[in-house]
Amino acid sequence: MAHRDRSHRGRNLAGAAAPPLTFIAGNDTYRFGSLGYLHYANVSVGSPGQWFLVALDTGSDLFWLPCDCIMCSMPGLVTISGQELNPYSLNKSSTSAKVPCNSTFCGRPSPSHCSPTHNTCPYQVQYLSNNTLSSGVLVEDVLHLTTDDSQLKEVDARITFGCGMIQTGIFLEGAAPNGLFGLGMGNISVPSVLANKGLAANSFSMCFGPDGVGRISFGDKGSTEQDETPFNLEQSYPTYNVSMTQVSVGENVTDLSFSAIFDSGTVFTYLNDPAYTAISESFNSQVQEKRQGNDSGIPFEYCYDLSANQSRFEVPNVNLTMKGGKQFHVTHPFVIVYIKDAHGERTMYCLAIVKSGDVNIIGHCCEYYVAKGSPLACFTNLNLLFACLDFDGVCYYLQNEMWKMLTFDPNPENFMTGYRIVFDREKMVLGWEASNCYDAKNYSTLPINPPTSSAVPPTSAVEPETRSVGSNGSPALSPPPLPGSGSPYLNSFACTLITVFLSLSILCFAVPSS
């Protein structure tokens, strides 16, 4: 009866202007360094609800959970209280069902793809990260949500998602070990399903706070004060792709037309030429510190030494003029790096953009992460050996027969940090408004802060954090509490250098791309 009542209330929401929705555990999201610096949320699926800590990815469509595992990374992922984050099980849910071959979500079935004997619909999703995919069968079950307002009315939405039997690549190295929540434009994504069922407007927002805490709200169309730019829709695979018409770096302004994908599932920001060279060389011409030679242990090309006694430095501000004329101010275009080797210790900062040979992607963060464990080869294109000895951002790597210690700023900020980003698929626009993700405005549980001024000075003064190289300065971030669980800190369970690059997933076999 309780489940029936919640479903009824969900249908009633569709009759009027539906309030925003969020996960039953709350609208909080958390960025975990130990899990690839992606943003995660706690979701409940099934009857009774099974709990999962899933990575949020605007660059792909399918929501999948580890399930009936043949190759998954689940073993060893536990809360500090000892509660294991388990895979999904159809047998444990009274509302679960396998998706049949004749389902509209089964795409273009053929005898080799859909099993007539078992009437099950297989899927395979390939991601741009090397050798990374998820495969299994499509299933249906209930996703437990609540209105993202003061009423907190429970809403059950029946959704289609992947029972992920096989994961490869970065999914076995620490990223999204308990599932991936695709937020793309395809019909199978949860935002699309909620909109098609009339449960929420066809829009959602994600807020990226500077401390790693964020928010997610389905049906949120933003505010009248936000800036907007249209999506580029002339693509075979629709993504949150937008156009830039001008780049300003400090005092230098360059007319430059290029497009990029806003992707929460990609950590770095990747730009190809001419955008990469224009921004990098302009940035380089305006900083006073000495540029370092290329270090193969660092993915960034433009890095600058800071003296031992240097308490502050100035960097030019980076602004992107979007199609339509609105400005997107990059709040933190650099990352601070600490290195210790046989020659001593040094600190430097780097322009936090990686040169791309392919697509342009605006990532949500700016650094990669190494968890502690045993040495193994990482960044295979660099042929480096890493020994991971600390939990948050410290790593030793071997270069020219010399071990070096590499530490990253524990509070990474970059292109989406400090904004509520609105992915409005009704108006087909990307919206953004300055926010610290705590101060409420418009929605009782979605915090927004408007910018204090639209004017941006050409340079910003920065005071690097006082730190002993090798110390663990990262704040301890934990997922939202699991009902009935103890302290939910995650134990380190893998050693890897994770460059999370999930954008532009390719859905194969049964799952349609839109």
Q: Which amino acid is at 242?
A: V
Instruction: Indicate if the alpha-carbon torsion angle 238, 160, 193, 439 is positive or negative.
Output: negative
Q: 7: part of which helix (H) or strand (E)?
A: helix 2-13
Contacts of 253-257 with C-beta under 8 Å, sequence gap 24+, read 254/278, 254/282
Instruction: Indicate if the alpha-carbon torsion angle 420, 421, 423, 427 is positive or negative.
Output: positive
Catalogue the E-assigned strands of 148-240: 154-167, 180-182, 203-208, 213-218, 227-230
The burial of 31, by beta-carbon neighbours within 10 Å (0-12 exposed, 13-18 middle, 19 or more buried), is given as buried
Count of positions (residues) in the chain: 514
Task: Give the whole-angstrom CA distance, residue 97 versus residue 91.
Answer: 9
Task: Give the whole-angstrom CA distance, residue 286 versus residue 252.
Answer: 9
Task: Give the whole-angstrom CA distance, residue 281 versus residue 279.
Answer: 6
Give me the sheet containing 334-341, strands edge to edge.
303-306, 344-351, 334-341, 402-408, 394-399, 384-387, 376-378
- In a 13 Å sphere around the CA of 92, the CA atoms on its Cβ side amount to 12
Non-local CB neighbours of 332 within 8 Å, separated by 6+ positions: 210, 352, 366, 412, 413, 414, 417, 418
Active centre residues (catalytic): 57, 263
For residue 19, the tally of other CB atoms under 10 A from its CB is 21
As given in the structure block, the two tokens for residue 249 are 């770096």
| Local structure of 473: helix, strand or coil | coil
Task: Give the whole-angstrom CA distance, residue 292 versus residue 454.
Answer: 34
